[in-house]
Amino acid sequence: MRHTVTVGPDYELWVEERGDADAPPLLLIMGANYSGMAWPESFVERLTSRYRVIRYDHRDTGRSSRAFDVAPYTIADLAEDAVAVLDALDVDSAHVVGMSLGGVLVQLLLLDHPERLRSATVFATSALGGAAPESGELPGPDPRILSLWQRMGEQRDPADELAWRVEHWRMLNGDVLPFDPEEFRDLEQRLAEHSGTHVADTAHARAEVGGLDRAAELSAVTTPTLVIEAPADPVNPPPHAEHLEAVIAGSHRITVPGMGHALSSAVLEPLAEAILRHTAAVDRDS
């Protein structure tokens, strides 16, 4: 079932829910500049074996409104959008899973709306700012990724844009697991068909990031939280996940071997299984 959710005078969000309507809800929050359709179909189907799975397109992605140039917003506003989605679907609380920027948004939800989260799962992400590890600064993205990001948003024809995006996924996949360019070419073609354009979504890179220095507050979190470590992640490499586990009270960490910053077919089953184990344990204890 698909919905349109209004989140202000300038924005409407495309929302989809799958699975048994009477099952516990599970909300998926995708990373920056990608729509909810970036969650692979087989992964979503695996989760629907137990949950009512909800995914949505962020502002300025997919079929949601694109209005950043006339109605700019903050990264924190994107977290509030997740609450608006739950409200619109009459969901009091849900298991919430966030990847990359989605993991940052989940942390904001843990702080500002803990009553709306049955559990939290975050991966391929970093902790909110404001608390560096005692051993020193956390590592930044691979320089190769930073170099490629300099070309994000350049005007390209559809074929060249597709080639750029596949190369982007190749780097995000990391240097451990095999990379199948056809898998990600098919993904990007589905995303372009869904959104109706091949033009890159870059609004999130321009959104205001103020007010995110809240890592110290995470020590008071009581929501059961799973941190999934992606050891080959070139964007948030180790020890980002270890640091995140340390700052979120009561969290625990598991590792998906070889995983990078991409949802390749090789990681989908262990990733889904880890989420299902975590959420099932929370459901049993509640």
The range of the structural domain enclosing residue 52 comes to: 2-285
pLDDT confidence of 254, banded at 50, 70, 90?
very high
Residue 286: per-residue pLDDT: 79
- Residue 74 DSSP code: B
Residue 24: per-residue pLDDT: 98
**Tens digits of residue pLDDT in 122-159:** 999 999 986 555 556 899 999 999 999 999 989 999 99
The 3-state DSSP class for residue 169 equals helix
As a whole number, mean pLDDT of residues 6-23 equals 97
The answer to whether 280 and 50 are in contact (CB under 8 A) is yes
The total number of structural domains in the chain stands at 1
Give the domain CATH number at 232.
3.40.50.1820
**Tens digits of residue pLDDT in 33-54:** 999 999 999 999 999 999 999 9
What CA–CA distances, in Å, run from 188 to 17, 60, 62? 21, 16, 11
Torsion of CA 175, 181, 182, 187, to 10 degrees: 80
| Catalytic site positions | 100, 233, 261
Question: Counting beta carbons within 10 angstroms of the beta carbon of residue 9, is it exposed (0 to 12), middle (13 to 18) or buried (19 or more)?
Answer: exposed
